[in-house]
Structure formats: C-alpha cells, structure tokens
Amino acid sequence: MNNILSFLVRITLLTVLWVTFISVGVYPQGDNPLIDHVPREWLENINYSDSEEDVITDINGYDNFNLGVDFAEPHLSQNPNNPIQYFGAYNINNAWRTTDGFNWISSSPAFGVPADGDPCTAYDGAGNLYYETMFGSVTGCKVMRSTNNGATWSASVTAISGNDKNWMAADQTNGPYANYVYTTMTPGNFARSTNFGANWTTTATFSTQTLPGMMVCIGPNGSTDGGAVYVVTNSGSSFASTYTFYVSTNGGLNFTQKSAQNFANYVGTNVNGRNSVQNMRTRPYPFIAADQSNGTYRGRLYCIYASNTPSGNGNKPDIFCRYSTNQGTTWSSAIRVNDDLNTTVNHQWHPSIWCDKSTGRLYVKWMDTRDTPTSDSAYIYASYSDNGGVTWAANQRISNQKMRIDCSTCGGGGTPRYQGDYDAIVSTNNQAMMMWSDFRFGDFGSYVAYFPDFAMKVSPPNSTIVSNNDSAFIFINVPGVKLYNSTAIFSANITPNPPSGSFIIDFPQGNTLSSFPGTVTMRIRTSGNVTLGNYTINIEGKGPNGTPVHRRTASIQVVVPALDFGVNILVFDNCMNQVPLEFGTAPGATDCY
C-alpha cells in the first residue's frame, strides 16, 4: 500500500511539474514553440562559407546561383530604379549584393551590436536601401540605410521594440507617403520612419498579436498611391491561427481593424508544440501583398499561407491564396496555388510572396515534395497569377537539385529542427528573382535564381581558328524556358586581348531570340595575324531590362594556317557555308564564311 501511495504521489508531482513547465513557457535549449527567433546557443553550430559564387547549371541549361553557406532565412530586395541591383541578407548578418544581376559580393555591414537574426530588407522609391535585424538578445530591431545598394551604410538606429519576428516595407510610389518606411514586430508593435530611416516612431500596438508572424505591406487607397498601409497579426494557437487585418489610410499614423479570419490549420505534424514537415519546423505565417499597379486588380489585398489538406494533424499542406477587394473586410474562398495532381500525398509549404507594383503580377514561391514519392526531399517551386489570384500559371521547378528536408548536418537545433522560417521573392516589370536556403549539400546553402527564366547552352565547347582572315562559329541555344516570354539578347567578348591582331564578333542573323526554343549563331573572325594561343569566349544572355542574366564560356585556339600542297583538302570545319577559293594551287578547294 505504501508503495502504491508513493507511486501515486510521484505521478501527481510529475504531472504538476509538467503542467507548470508548459504553462510558464520553459522549454529545453530555449526551444519555446511560441517563439521563432533562433536561440543564441544554436548559432555556434553553423559552418559559414563566403567562398566565390558558384553558378550551378543543370543538364537542361538552367542556372542556380550558389552564394556560399550562411544561416538560412533570407530576405531579398531589388532597386526599383535599377533592376539589376539586388541586396539579400541571411540570418545573423550575412549579406550579399549584386550590381549586375550576376556577380554577387559578400557585404555584411556592422550594426554596432550583435545581430540576432530575422533579417528584413526594403528599397524605397528613391533608391534607398534599408536593412533590419533583431538585436540585444531580441529586445528590438536595428535599421541602417544605404544609398548605393549596400556598398556603404549609415550608422544603425533602433527602429522598434519587441521580442520576436519582425517585418518591413517601404513606399516605392510618388504618393503623399513616398519613401516612408514601416516595420512590425512581435508582440504587436508597429513603427514608421518619415525621414529615410533616420528616426522611428511607434504609432500602434496591436493586442491581437500573440504568435510570431506579424506582417506589413503597402497598397493604394483608391487613387492615392501608397495610401493604404496594411498590417496582419497572428494569434490563436500554433495549429489554429487567427489572422487579424488592419489598414491605415494616413501613412501608418492610425489603424482600423477590418476583420479577423481563421484560414489556416496545421502545417504538417505537431511535434513538441510546433508545426513540422519532415522534422523541419514551420508556421502558417500570413504573407500579405497589395496590388499597387494601375491594372485591373489595383488595390486588391492578398494573403498567402500554407495549411494542411484535409485539415488536421499529420496531413500534408498546400499553398493557398485569398484576396480581398475591400481592404481586408471580406475575403475570397481559398484558391490552391500548387497544381500537383494528388495534393494529399505531397507537402507544399514555406511560401513567399511579392506583387509587382508595375504590372500587378502576384508571385509565390514555396518548398515542394511532389517529385519525391517518400516526401522526404524537396525542390523550390514557383508560380504567378495575372488575374488577381484567381488562377495560377503552371507551377515551375526552380531549384535544379533535390534537397533532403531533414538536414541533420546543417547545424540548426531543436526538434523539429530550425532550418529557417521564410525565404524571399521580388520582381520588377514581371521579372522576378528568388532567394532561399538550400540543403542539397548538407548545409545551409545560400541560393538565388530567376523566374521566369530561360535555359542557355553553347556549342561547340572548343574551336580552332587560323590567325588571320578566318572564321569560327558558336551556336547559342535556348532549349527551353520556365514561363519566359520576353526576348533574350546575346553578346560576347574574348579574353585575353591578343597582343597582336584582333577578333571580330558578330551575329549574322541577329543577336536576339523572341520565340523558344531557338538558336543564335555567333561568328568570330580573325584579323591582322592574331597571336597564336588559347582564348576564352565569354557569352552573355539577358532580358530587356538586364535580367535574367546568364553567362557561358567556350574555348578557341588560334593556330597557324595549314599549308596548301595542291591537294583539295577541307581545312576548316567551323563554317556556316563553303565557297570555292579563287586563288591557290588546289583547284576546287573551299573556304569558310
């Protein structure tokens, strides 16, 4: 009897301790399922690498750009005034920038305090770049500004207080709130800057924000560009979120609540109080964007999220879009973005959103297991809608190598494991770029790719050419596209410059493709006795605004002329056409052009 009583007492004490453990939010190693920022102790497990950019081209000719190894969770912005300039940041202040859309430079500014993750970036309409990160063991966010795409930075300032998950947006219009910058942060704070990020004022605190996932975006208010600032908060439980939508029509000074919606349920499986897909933690964040264009769907507000289909623990998530035509008061029914044939057997989650301010095209990217019957590995997929989110273009696979989701060697801690809570996509004039964390090599690889996009191949890889008055031909092929319907423009140069003589490059049938698949022919001619040796042909293909941009190389060897001994020998094989020679001792011999 005493043993039984002792056992019951122990069980009761353990139960009380467990309830207390949960109720006060104490979790092992800081892994509180109600908090999404990265515990400081996990940061020491990441092997960073800022090695030279590596362009990974698949067998079909599509590129992914591998920037190195950072700590997941990237955000990306594009200069609206110069669309080949991008700036992206990964967790704990590992940032990258490009000024030509191809070559990326590691550019991690000093905030003056330890960065604690959740990077967010934004460009305003004047071309100012803003970079935000949490700091101080997560007591708020610091923001700094750059006027040259991240080459140099202002001193950082404190923009907002909070304890988790921030977001930021900047007004790119010429409206009354042009260049205002807005930021949000859990547990419900909203702040704005009206002087290019120099000073920040908290103008609202929302009591409906209890879970990470508070977002902000900018849209028009009727005819007023930038006249509507939207905030969505996230509350309820991790498996039954409530999204509450607010709008400000005076530049973020005051807000009006428009509605509270219960759109999402589980995303994958409940593991230790978190949503989990193959041991990768996740959450149904309400990603929002608004149509700032002058098109048919101007003013439409969008919400993108992941949620299980059918609802319930242990099922598999899809990506859903809903839209509002009255600033968030009422919403459309859920529209599924992913187009796999049997959605209940595949995971689609981890979405990102962008609405093109010029055209109104709505972009979404996400992680997707449709190519893996066991659902343990994924690719990055993307699509867009040109009719206000009602229908979606055929989904496109963007990453060019599969990655195992449960990345035990990446270094993120927790069960389920931290492997980043968001990625990013951005566009100008219907040309987008996305940035994501990729686990294909067993680490937190930092990747970017274009969408829509075209593949690019060149042949032959190696050519020979005589040093004077000879021709060789390179064929530039676009074997396929991923929803790309603009023109592809090609150019080339040869390095190094020869000490004597010169190369002449031209495109006999033109250097542009407007229908695909297709091929452009490039001709290389020698003049003035080019120095013998090996040279590299550098070939570039790009879209009308400079993006997407892809580069390929081929080799060419300059050789001495073959001697003519009166035998009809075809000397050159890199020809478009053959013509009879009008000189020499070999009747009937031919030459190239």
Q: Is residue 259 part of a domain?
A: yes
Residue 320 lies in a domain: yes
Structure tokens at 487: 């023109």
**491 and 446 assigned to the same domain:** no
* CATH code of the domain containing 484: 2.60.40.10
Query: Can you count the helices (H) and strands (E) in the chain?
Result: 1, 46
Share in percent of the chain as helix, strand, coil (round to 5): 5, 45, 50
423 and 474: one domain?
no
- 253 and 375 housed in the same domain: yes
Bridge-partner residues for 269, per DSSP?
Answer: 276
Q: Does a structural domain hold residue 213?
A: yes
The CATH number covering residue 183 comes to 2.120.10.30
| Shared domain check, 469 and 402 | no
83/156 same-domain check = yes
Domain extent, residue 503, equals: 457-561
- Domain-embedded: residue 586: no
Q: 473 and 423 in one domain?
A: no
Asked whether residue 329 is assigned to any structural domain, the reply reads yes
Please check whether residue 322 is in contact with residue 300, taking contact to mean a CB–CB distance below 8 angstroms. Answer: no
pLDDT of residue 574: 47
Q: What angle do CA 388, 122, 323 make, to 5 degrees?
A: 20
pLDDT score at 33: 86
Alpha-carbon torsion, ordered 521, 527, 533, 536, to 10 deg: -30
Spatial CA neighbour of 69 closest among 408, 400, 434, 447 = 447
- On whether both 444 and 502 belong to a single domain, the answer is no
What is the per-residue pLDDT for 562? 77
- Position 157: which residue type? V
Which residue, 246, 231, 232, 286, is CA-closest to 264? 286
Question: Is residue 467 domain-shared with residue 446, that is, in the same domain?
Answer: no
Q: Do 397 and 505 belong to one domain?
A: no
Residue-level pLDDT at 488: 99
Q: Could you give the number of structural domains in the chain? A: 2
Cα atoms found within 13 Å of the Cα of residue 193, Cβ hemisphere only? 25
State which residues of the chain have pLDDT below 70. 1-30, 40-53, 563-593
Question: Within this chain, do residues 225 and 339 fall inside the same structural domain, yes or no?
Answer: yes
Assigned domain for 478 exists:
yes
446 and 482 share one domain: no
Q: What is the pLDDT of residue 52?
A: 58
2 found inside a domain:
no
Is 581 inside a domain boundary?
A: no
Distances in Å between the Cα of 360 and the Cα atoms of 302, 423, 428, 433, 546 are 11, 21, 10, 16, 20
Which of 398, 424, 451 is the endpoint of a domain? 451
pLDDT at 531: 98
Residues 172 and 306 in one domain: yes
CA atoms within a 13 Å half-sphere pointing along the CA-CB vector of 348: 31
Sign of CA dihedral 38, 42, 304, 386: positive
Give the model confidence (pLDDT) of 357-377 as tens digits: 999 999 999 999 999 999 999
